Amino acid sequence: MRKDSGGGAETVDIDPAGRVERAPALFLPDELDRIVAHYPGVAPKDDLDRLLHTSRIEPATTARIVPDVIIADGTLLRHGGVQVVRPGPGKRKVLRGAFATLPEAMLCADYVIDRYFGHWVADGWSREQLAIERGMVPMVLDPARFGHSEGYRALIDLPARRLADTRVRRLWLIDDRGYNPARMERFRQVRARLRNALAGRGGPGAVFIRRGAQAAGRTLRNEAEVIAALAARGFTIIAPDALPAAKVAATLRDARIVVGVEGSALAHANAVLDPGACVFAIQSPASFNTIHRLATADAGLRFAFSVGDPAAGDDFTMPVERLLRAIDMVEASMR
């Protein structure tokens, strides 16, 4: 345990750094040449590094234990510091009344986990499992933050407590941005509970996931053409927004390949596919992003992608012939 330079906070080492071996990503030889720009805020070098490397030393998981923190309106407040986890309107200028007090709590959310369903699955689940393993109740800003949250929580036995208008004497803030072996194991434990909860239901071998109505950007202009071509090849087409979590997960559980536009909808596949199955991301050339490369490796899955052709902004089209050729390559590799 290490004391910080000020404010009485402590830093605790939880899981050590460790080498992680990942199966190579699957893609056609000319795919990287089609990239026009990477996802905003992601350095191209880092994006390609996590895509192409199959063996890496991943950083340790640590916790910063901060004393006397008030959590209100999606913001952490303490003497000498403010940290906004959920930005936006509705923040009170003055906090009045008595707040509940907890002696100790682990916050299992941050800005991206609270904002994106895909990060809640990929990052939030392993943090909540960490809290349970350390004898704490997982604390989040809103246990029902996403449309499928409550359904998944019931399936994976991962109840969390809402942390709002609360003073915490010792608040654990987790840094597990490194996909080290212990973090990977926590995520796989939660995935195993989900797969076990759905055992025996059966499902199709190939699925295309449509993005939800609330998805921002990266619109696939010729989605209808892509869906028709994949349906002709035996793919089942699902729209997660229109289905409960149990139905989505049961449909995906036994698939060997799941295809969808890069985004949080693919997290449904990361959550439940059998180890060795493949998540295939259709990528916008103007917003290329390999975050699913890490999430799939964390789950023991294969990752593949194909890059479309530019349209306006980060919208794009995906030539069907090229997509089918890439899928053929993936299926041959997996055989």
Q: What is the pLDDT of residue 4?
A: 61
Same domain, residue pair 42 and 93: no
Which tokens in the block code for residue 121? 């699955």
Domain enclosing residue 36, as ranges: 20-57+202-334
**Gap between the Cα atoms of 290 and 34, Å rounded:** 14
**Gap between the Cα atoms of 263 and 57, Å rounded:** 26
Amino acid letter, 168: V
Same domain, residue pair 44 and 171: no
Q: Is the pLDDT of residue 1 over 70?
A: no
Domain count of the chain?
2
- CATH code of the domain covering residue 29: 3.40.50
Domain stop point among 141, 176, 197: 197
Q: What is the pLDDT of residues 218-253, one digit of tens each?
A: 899 999 999 999 999 999 999 999 999 999 999 999
Instruction: With cut-offs at 50, 70 and 90, classify the pLDDT of residue 214.
Output: low
Q: How many CB atoms lie within 10 A of CB 183?
A: 27
Q: What is the mean pLDDT of the chain?
A: 94
Same domain, residue pair 288 and 228: yes
**Gap between the Cα atoms of 256 and 262, Å rounded:** 18
CA triplet 62, 25, 114: central angle to 5 degrees?
40
Which residue's structure tokens are 């893609």? 27
Instruction: With cut-offs at 50, 70 and 90, classify the pLDDT of residue 81.
Output: confident
Which residues on adjacent β-strands are paired with residue 206?
257
- pTM of this prediction? 0.93
Which tokens in the block code for residue 220? 């696939």
CB 28 within 8 A of CB 325: yes
Same domain, residue pair 244 and 187: no
Q: What is the pLDDT of residue 8?
A: 84
Domain stop point among 197, 222, 255: 197
C-beta contacts of 112-116 below 8 A and 24+ residues apart? 114/74, 114/85, 114/86, 114/140, 114/141, 114/142, 114/145, 115/86, 116/264
Q: What is the pLDDT of residues 306-327, one digit of tens each?
A: 999 999 888 999 999 999 999 9
Q: What is the pLDDT of residue 237?
A: 98
Q: What is the pLDDT of residue 97?
A: 84
Q: What is the pLDDT of residues 271-303, one digit of tens each?
A: 999 999 999 999 999 999 999 999 999 999 999
Q: What is the pLDDT of residues 3-39, one digit of tens each?
A: 564 568 899 999 999 999 999 999 999 999 999 999 9
CA triplet 28, 31, 32: central angle to 5 degrees?
130
